[in-house]
RNA sequence: GCCGCCAUCGUCUAGUCUGGUCUAGGACGCCAGGUUCUCAUCCUGGAAAUCAGGGGUUCGAAUCCCCUUGGCGGUACCA
């Protein structure tokens, strides 16, 4: 059996769209699943929509998300990984290289190839020169629409321009396009990997322009030529291409090539079921990364939009490796899928709890830095808003904060949102916040004194969450056991927690005290006790 | 308009090919309860789909066939 080869072929018109990314993901999953090759090529035949820097940005996004490709377009800095393959510098994009035996992998760098094939098609009678001007075409279409006919090129140049005239116009450098001559009265039928049998009648297929007057090919020509040149076996793309398949199939036939298999993926939709668009939220993968969604979560979520492992599988959280193992086209859905950010949030929260602390710390650090920069400075005697000194101390401290915060994070951008761990030389909060139910001031002071005593008796070296919880719980039992044997823990824990955080809601006093450390914790208790004099 | 694709809880979906075990299962979200010093986590439970509608076929249809409706895509010298 032939080795499978798939390709991801974005256009450099901006950032990576989430829908595009899903296509890339399925490409990757299918390639890895079948032990095939994954190729990245660039479709830059539309100079009007070209965006400077988009090629680099597309590559960075794919890279960041960890979908490794085997061949095609790369950033220069990884050239060394391809010692055994053919590598060339991109002609049109500095800093970009092309690695592999089937290049160029950038369409603007193989214009002559497309032109050659287009001219061959003309010679073989499958295409013809067209000198019609845009204005005439537009008028023609308007008229057809008025008569409720399908808007299709009327073959004016095929019927009315003689070969002699063609040659003459060509010599005079008249602008021209090359159009495909669609054979009529035919039913084109093919088997789509997700949709099954699909049929089209060629009478409704337009004589598509293959070569534009600026010398660039259209998508249809370039795509077919590339996929053949690059020996692509499976074309995986969005549903918007489904109705172009007959054109492509006919091209393969006219060129004498074997067509690949097709898989047309369902569209991603907005909440109102229209095609996913910018107006209703972010559509660039970058936006989600910036907001603090983990790549693991983005991959996990996007994979499940339009695909599922089937067979009553109830697992929801999958690693990339697991997805590779389970992926198949039989379970790709046919209907469009709404991009529901609530579910992404949940999946992200799951991943934040799941990945190793050190990994999470690396990813969260930029968000902490940003947060710390926003705090007023100098904040305290240590010179920064943490009750520790030095870079190591800071790292250790932030990791503790993260340990506590990760349980309640949806996105990394929320890190530090409650600033109880960072501030401020003086903790100042209302007396009433310290009060548990209807405790008297005296009891309140007693409670904090009890806590203080417990904390004072824990040596620095034993300052762990476990010890704190154990000692504090013992104190609860000792001081606040009612006649009926029930322990009113709130009497000890609430004032303590309030004293440490000055917040209505926060993590437990054990966790907070553990992060803050002995000195800072005792300091905050002392400040609170001042309040209830 | 024309061509094509699609259609199960609000959302993602299982089940459809190989009709019965589906008075339709899971997850998110929502609601209630539990754990609990607060919040979050976590656990338990609940509401939520006459399987778009109608007609067949069949002893039996979410599953097969036809029609209707709705949604979406395409209809460019854009991809």
pLDDT digits (tens, 9 = 90+) for A298-321: 999 999 999 999 887 889 999 999
Spatial strand order of the sheet with A177-180 comes to A127-130, A177-180, A209-211
A239 touches strand B (CB under 7 A): yes
A275 touches strand B (CB under 7 A): yes
- Please state, in angstroms and rounded to a whole number, the distance separating the CA atoms of residues A363 and A361: 5
Q: Which residue, among A95, A97, A102, A103, has the nearest Cα to A83 in the 3D structure?
A: A97
- Please state, in angstroms and rounded to a whole number, the distance separating the CA atoms of residues A96 and A57: 12
Sole residue written with tokens 């072929």:
A9
Query: Mean of the per-residue pLDDT values for chain A?
Result: 90
- Quick one: pLDDT band at residue A376, thresholds 50, 70, 90? low
- Summarize chain A as % helix, strand, coil (round to 5): 50, 15, 35
Active-site residue A278, yes or no? yes
Sole residue written with tokens 């214009």:
A111
CB A176 within 8 A of CB A213: yes
For the ranges A255-264, A329-338, A375-384, which has the lowest average pLDDT? A375-384
Say which of A3, A116, A168, A278 is annotated catalytic: A278
Sole residue written with tokens 């996105």:
A411
A408 touches strand B (CB under 7 A): yes
CB A30 within 8 A of CB A6: yes
User: Which residues 428-457 on A are within 7 A of strand B at the CB atom?
Assistant: 436
Q: Which positions in strand B are less than 7 Å from the protein's CB atoms?
A: 1-8, 10-15, 25-29, 36-42, 71-79
Nearest nt (C1') from A274 Cα: B72
d(CA A493, C1' B41) / Å: 19
A137 touches strand B (CB under 7 A): yes
d(CA A473, C1' B70) / Å: 62
Strands A127-130 and A177-180: antiparallel
First to last CA, chain A: 85
pLDDT digits (tens, 9 = 90+) for A203-248: 989 999 999 999 999 999 999 999 999 999 999 999 999 999 999 9
The structure tokens listed for A379 are 């904040």
- Please state, in angstroms and rounded to a whole number, the distance separating the CA atoms of residues A140 and A134: 10
User: Which residues 500-529 on A are within 7 A of strand B at the CB atom?
Assistant: 504-510
Spatial strand order of the sheet with A96-99 comes to A87-89, A96-99, A71-75, A37-40, A5-8, A234-238, A261-265, A187-192, A196-201
Residues with Cβ within 8 Å of residue A133, at least 6 apart in sequence: none
Q: Cα dist. A76→A60, A80, A127 in Å?
A: 12, 9, 39
What's domain A110-265's superfamily in CATH? HUPs (3.40.50.620)
Instruction: Tell me whether the CATH fold assigned to A5-108+268-337 matches the one assigned to A110-265.
Output: yes
- Please state, in angstroms and rounded to a whole number, the distance separating the CA atoms of residues A485 and A533: 31
pLDDT surpasses 60 at A379:
no
Please determine, for the modelled complex, whether the ipTM score is greater than 0.85: yes
The structure tokens listed for A420 are 């109880």
According to CATH, what is the number of the domain A5-108+268-337? 3.40.50.620
- Please state, in angstroms and rounded to a whole number, the distance separating the CA atoms of residues A410 and A75: 33
Sole residue written with tokens 């599922």:
A308
Please state whether the predicted TM-score (pTM) of the whole model is above 0.90. yes
- Please state, in angstroms and rounded to a whole number, the distance separating the CA atoms of residues A283 and A341: 11
The structure tokens listed for A522 are 């005792």
Sole residue written with tokens 């910036």:
A290
- pLDDT for residue A84: 58
Q: At the top level of CATH, which class does the domain A431-531 belong to?
A: mainly alpha
Where exactly are the structural domains of chain A?
5-108+268-337, 110-265, 356-421, 431-531
A242 touches strand B (CB under 7 A): yes
A346 touches strand B (CB under 7 A): yes
A95 touches strand B (CB under 7 A): no
d(CA A243, C1' B51) / Å: 29
- pLDDT for residue A20: 94
pLDDT digits (tens, 9 = 90+) for A250-292: 999 999 999 999 999 999 988 888 888 776 778 899 999 999 9
């Amino acid at each position: 059996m032939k080795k499978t080869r798939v390709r991801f072929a974005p256009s450099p018109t901006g950032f990576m769209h989430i829908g595009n990314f899903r296509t890339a993901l399925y490409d990757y999953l299918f390639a890895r699943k079948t032990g095939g090759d994954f190729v990245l090529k660039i479709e830059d035949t539309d100079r009007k929509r070209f965006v400077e820097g988009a090629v680099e940005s597309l590559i960075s996004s794919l890279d960041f998300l960890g979908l490794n490709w085997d061949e095609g377009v790369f950033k220069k800095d990884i050239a060394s990984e391809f010692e055994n393959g053919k590598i060339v510098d991109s002609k049109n994009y500095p800093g970009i290289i092309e690695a592999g035996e089937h290049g160029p992998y950038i369409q603007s760098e193989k214009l002559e190839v497309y032109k050659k094939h287009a001219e061959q098609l003309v010679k073989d009678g499958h295409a013809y020169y067209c000198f019609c001007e845009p204005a005439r075409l537009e008028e023609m279409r308007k008229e057809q629409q008025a008569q409720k006919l399908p808007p299709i090129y009327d073959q004016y140049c095929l019927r009315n321009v003689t070969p002699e005239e063609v040659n003459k116009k060509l010599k005079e450098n008249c602008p021209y396009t090359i159009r495909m001559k669609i054979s009529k009265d035919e039913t084109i039928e093919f088997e789509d990997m997700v949709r099954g049998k699909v049929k089209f009648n060629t009478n409704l297929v337009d004589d598509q322009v293959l070569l534009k007057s600026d010398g660039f090919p259209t998508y249809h020509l370039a795509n077919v030529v590339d996929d053949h040149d690059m020996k692509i076996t499976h074309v995986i793309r969005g549903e918007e291409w489904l109705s172009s398949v007959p054109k492509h199939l006919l091209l393969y036939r006219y060129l004498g090539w074997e067509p690949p298999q097709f898989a047309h993926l369902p569209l991603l939709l907005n909440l109102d079921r229209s095609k996913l668009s910018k107006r209703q939220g972010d559509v660039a993968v970058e936006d989600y990364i910036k907001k603090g969604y983990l790549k693991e979560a983005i991959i996990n979520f996007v994979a499940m939009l339009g695909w599922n492992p089937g067979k009553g599988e109830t697992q929801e959280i999958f690693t990339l490796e697991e997805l590779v193992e389970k992926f198949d086209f039989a379970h790709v859905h046919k209907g469009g899928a709404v991009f529901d950010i609530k579910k992404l949030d949940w999946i992200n929260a799951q991943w934040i709890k799941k990945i190793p602390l050190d990994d999470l710390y690396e990813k969260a650090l930029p968000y902490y830095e940003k947060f710390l920069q926003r705090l007023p400075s100098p904040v305290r005697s240590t010179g920064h808003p943490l009750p520790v000194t030095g870079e190591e101390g800071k790292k250790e401290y932030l990791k503790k904060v993260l340990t506590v915060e990760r349980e309640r994070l949806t996105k990394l951008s929320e890190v530090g949102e409650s600033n109880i761990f960072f501030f401020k030389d003086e903790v100042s909060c209302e007396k009433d916040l310290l009060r548990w139910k209807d405790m008297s001031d005296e009891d309140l002071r007693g409670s904090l004194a009890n806590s203080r005593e417990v904390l004072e008796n824990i040596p620095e070296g034993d300052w762990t969450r476990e010890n704190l919880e154990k000692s504090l719980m013992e104190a609860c039992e000792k001081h606040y056991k009612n006649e009926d044997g029930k322990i009113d823990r709130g009497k000890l824990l609430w004032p303590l927690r309030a004293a440490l955080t000055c917040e209505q809601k926060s993590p437990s006093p054990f966790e907070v005290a553990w992060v803050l450390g002995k000195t800072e914790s005792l300091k905050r208790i002392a400040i609170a006790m001042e309040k209830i004099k």
